[in-house]
Amino acid sequence: MSKLSKKQRKIARAAMPFDKITGEDFKMLKSKKNKKAEKLYKKSQKVAYKGRKAVDEGREKKANRKLKKAARLESRSIKLEEKY
């Protein structure tokens, strides 16, 4: 029987050794969260570009939808960065 609980094992699997919780596990988990924030920011930039392109084409409804989505994604990425 394992000495670690199910949630503790999830933390321990983040970095070597996989059967003990170390500082490296927490560093890996934190870096994953930072990468998620960066990925969200890049996605918001792509969507904003598509929104600006739709404005140029005269497609106002699509442009509004894309720009609104980009703003939501960017605010989510900012919140993630502030949180960690």
Number of other CB atoms surrounding residue 73 within 10 Å: 20
> Is it the case that residue 1 has pLDDT exceeding 50?
no
pLDDT in tens, 11-61: 898 888 888 999 999 888 888 877 888 888 899 999 999 999 999 999 999
CA distance 13 to 29: 10
Note the pLDDT of residue 82.
82
Note the pLDDT of residue 38.
86
CA distance 64 to 39: 22
pTM over 0.85: no
Note the pLDDT of residue 84.
61
Indicate the domain borders of the chain.
Answer: 6-83
